[in-house]
Amino acid sequence: MMGYTGELISLGVAFSWTATALLSEFGSRRLGNLTFNVLRMALALLFSVVMFWLATGSPLPAGGTTEACLWLLLSGVVGYVVGDYCLFQCYLIIGSRYGQLFMTLAPIAAAFTAWVALGQEMAPMSIVAMLVTLTGIGMSVLGRGEHHKVALKLPLGGVLFAIGAAVCQGVGLVLSKIGMDHYEPGAIPAWLVPFSANFFRCVAGIVGFTLLLYLREGLTPLREALGDRRGMTAATATTIFGPFAGVGFSLMAVQYTSAGIASTLMALTPIIIILPSWWLFRQPITWRAVAGALISVFGVSLFFLG
């Protein structure tokens, strides 16, 4: 079993992100999209401060240059404020199962953004991977409509939010890479750099979500949410399973196995989530949905294994 440590950790991350998606859907329905995200960002910052204090003796991360902070704040606006708003909104409309299926588009967005911003070439296998992933998504969300024409089985608004979430996650990932490349070498342990980067992204996230909540609904929903035990439990669990267990163990996984194998196993969430979403939210399971999820995840694997 020790020979498969990285693979087992990667599978654990996939289950962790599945729990995050399901808890996020529950929390968004209970507290509202913006309120839930404000709480999630606040808890992520709190946990980050505690972690940095325990690891370095200082509650704040070090080593980030001005350029790094600016890129990471921009990444937070794109990835968290816009991206997570779209993601949680799509959960409310089409559910976390289909939302996670569309998130397999994120590697496509990241590859295209890296090609434009960093000049990274896209190998022919990446093009094949994109087509396979799109085929899997299409099989899951498209069906026969009137007059035997192809029709979308899901609300268009939910699909657009899901695509927006995937694109923002991919773009935000590239922006985070640019920001981390501007860190001062040796200022903090290498394993802390991604967590430091996430700290700045969360700062942008909490400022952006609080501003949106204040402009749209005021701060009353936030005060009410603090007294909602089930909602706060969902927010806390989402934060732990997402930014901490998910990010931390995903970094650990690549220390024990190849990045390609780890990334492919961690991308299994759209498959793992099928049964829990049926059990919790009674979302029907069809052979087309299962086959589409399998094909889409296979397409993601081609990005890393090709």
Strand partners, 142: 152
pLDDT, residue 282, reads 79
pLDDT, residue 147, reads 45
Measured from the Cβ of residue 131, the count of other Cβ atoms closer than 10 Å reads 13
First to last CA, the chain: 26
pTM score, two decimals?
A: 0.86
Q: How far apart are CA 22 and CA 26, in angstroms?
A: 6
Residues 6 or more apart from 78 whose CB is under 8 A from it? 168, 171, 172, 175
* CB-based contact 130:299 (threshold 8 Å): yes
DSSP string spanning 253-269? HHHHS-HHHHHHHHTTH
In order along its 306 residues, the chain shows pLDDT tens digits of: 456 777 788 888 889 889 999 999 999 999 999 999 999 999 999 998 998 999 888 898 888 889 999 999 999 999 999 999 999 999 999 998 889 889 888 888 888 888 888 777 777 887 888 888 888 888 887 755 444 455 677 899 999 999 999 999 889 888 988 888 888 887 788 778 888 888 999 999 999 999 999 999 999 999 999 999 999 999 999 998 887 777 777 767 766 776 567 767 777 888 888 888 888 877 777 888 888 888 988 888 887 765
| DSSP classification of residue 122 | P
Q: How far apart are CA 286 and CA 291, in angstroms?
A: 9
Residue type, 232: M
Looking up tokens 């401060």 gives 49
Q: Is residue 54 packed enough to be buried (19+ CB in 10 Å), middle (13-18) or exposed (0-12)? A: exposed
218 dihedral zone (left: phi>0; alpha: psi -120 to 50; beta) = left
